[in-house]
Amino acid sequence: MFPRALARALALTLAVGAITFTAPAAGRAEEIPKAPGHRLVSQYEGAPAAARPVPGQAPPQHPFLAPNGRSGMHADAAGSGTHPYSGPLGHDPRVTSEKIAPIGGECATATFDADGRLITVCGTFTGFLLKLLDPRTLDTLAEYRLPQRSSTVEAITRLDFSKIFKDTSGGAYFYLDDQDRVILADSRQHVLRIAHNQASDGSWRFAVEDDWDLTAHVPHDCVSWTNLFPSGTCDPVTSVMPDWQGRIWWVTRLGRVGTVDPETSRIRSVRLEGEEIQNSFSVAKDGVSIVSDHALYSFRADADGTPQVQWRQTYDRGTGTKPGSVNQGSGTTPDLFGKDYVAITDNADDRMNVLVYRRGTGIPAGGRLVCKVPVFGPGASTTDNSLISWGNSLVVENNYGYENPASLTFGRSVVGGVTRIDVREDGSGCDTVWQSDVRSPSTVPKLSTANGLLYFYEKEPHRLGIDAWYLTAVDFRTGERRWKRLTGTGVSYDNNWAPITIGPDGTVYAGVFNGIVAVRDRD
């Protein structure tokens, strides 16, 4: 550990230096550079697929969210991970990218306004950037700078960059509402509602419409460049989502669950003592589903907005954090699907299990669990990404072994694996439909219900040490890998927990360490 004086000097030096790590507020996209070796690996494998729409009922459209597929990281209020648009089928797909910053710049959640413009939040060393991008060229149309996270300051001053990669706060989880406004919680523990509009000269800008201060409800003595050694508690806000009545719900890392009434600005909250929340959450008419590192909850709000527990279900949280998990607990955002089911994974020591529960409030003791299905190999199974749910089907990927972009350098990869599990029609249990050897280290995968393809972000071991990253399309029905397309080589193309997102125009986007990548069929 550095002496405090030296730490302060180092912090000041790095802070001043970090000021240069900024992207222009608007302008033409600069491609993410590829590492050596990109000409020595396959550019494309497989063959184009035919579109085979997947029958089934889409999740209910949330009245306070943008249309399903456009509103957030998990595509809809139910957390289904499905998009109603057809992604690329593999017809000579081309790849474009935007480099956001000299170091870092990853764009995680991607949403789309009514005209198809891409809205995303990108992480840099000087703070998060809310960006409006042209969906075809990836040119920046507008930019709004959000505050720097305390984990970034800690990482730089204490030379512990794991702080950044295990921090899900600061705006990475945001949503687009029914009026195309961004709702997010920044690193100051404020919830912001931000609109974008076009000026008479054709330029675009972001404007904060509402700012709700949560600091009276959330401890906020956080590390900053002017507060390097805080003596109190810092509890970052992890995620926000609206309920069916329009309240904005928020959760914090240290187990606080709260609401903001947008009409009255009234804030209410409760604490899950001794529990941690690192994932986002899902919402249906019957309540708000939140998973902590100890239990799965269903919440509702009482008359003044105070969160109330409808039911609580513990799960096997194991004895420690696995490589490939952010904390000791479930890594999944709850999936609300089928006949009033909710699904998560646990953190059991030997083999992780997919858990499906009935989510009604009148379920008798011991009758909530529908099935518990172990997945992947003994001693090498975990996920920190949401399941995909469609109909009575669930798809889960294995992230065991991924920690951060340094984990997979020099040609290394994870053990991998993807499994599809179906709940039986009569609700008597679940069955494994197929298993795949796809190695998708850390992405939130997606399903195009319009063409029947699952999209993963894949990396395989390479004997020459080349780190090649691919967009991979898998048949939802059979688990067969249909095709894969090289996106780039090197750490800059590691997606580092960012999701796949399918845009309204059929483009697949993936946030990567140095920005964002787009893949679309050749016109």
DSSP string, 240-282: EEE-TTS-EEEEETTSEEEEE-TTT--EEEEE-TT----S--E
The secondary element (H helix, E strand) that includes residue 354 is: strand 353-358
Please tell me the least confidently modeled range out of 128-137, 147-156, 168-177: 147-156
Q: Given a cut of 50, is residue 14 above it in pLDDT?
A: no
Q: Is the pLDDT of residue 336 over 60?
A: yes
Mean model confidence pLDDT for the chain: 92
Would you say residue 425 has pLDDT above 70?
Answer: yes
The tens digit of pLDDT for each residue in 33-48 reads: 999 999 999 999 999 9
Please state the φ and ψ torsions of residue 477, each to the nearest 5 degrees. Answer: -75, -40
List the one residue out of 74, 68, 69, 206 whose CA is nearest residue 128: 206
Mean pLDDT of 141-146: 96
Give the Cβ contact number of residue 431 at 10 Å: 11
pLDDT for 9 beyond 50: no
pLDDT of residue 26: 59
pLDDT at 499 over 60: yes
User: Which pLDDT belongs to residue 8?
Assistant: 35
- Determine the residue type at 354: V
> Could you tell me the pLDDT band of residue 133, with boundaries at 50, 70 and 90?
very high
User: Could you tell me how many residues make up the chain?
Assistant: 523
Which are the contacts of 419, defined by CB distance < 8 A and separation ≥ 6? 354, 375, 376, 395, 396, 432, 434, 435, 436
Tell me the CATH number of domain 4-54+63-520, given options 3.30.1370.100, 2.40.50.140, 2.130.10.10, 3.50.50.60.
2.130.10.10
Token couple for 22: 């900024």
Say if residue 501's pLDDT is above 70. Answer: yes
Neighbour tally for 165: CB within 10 Å? 19
Grade residue 19 by pLDDT with cuts at 50, 70 and 90.
very low
Q: Is the predicted pLDDT of residue 369 greater than 90, yes or no? A: yes
pTM of the model: 0.93
Q: Please, which residues bridge with residue 80 across strands?
A: none
How high is the pLDDT of residue 164?
74
Give ∠ CA 222-223-226 in degrees, rounded to 5. Answer: 115
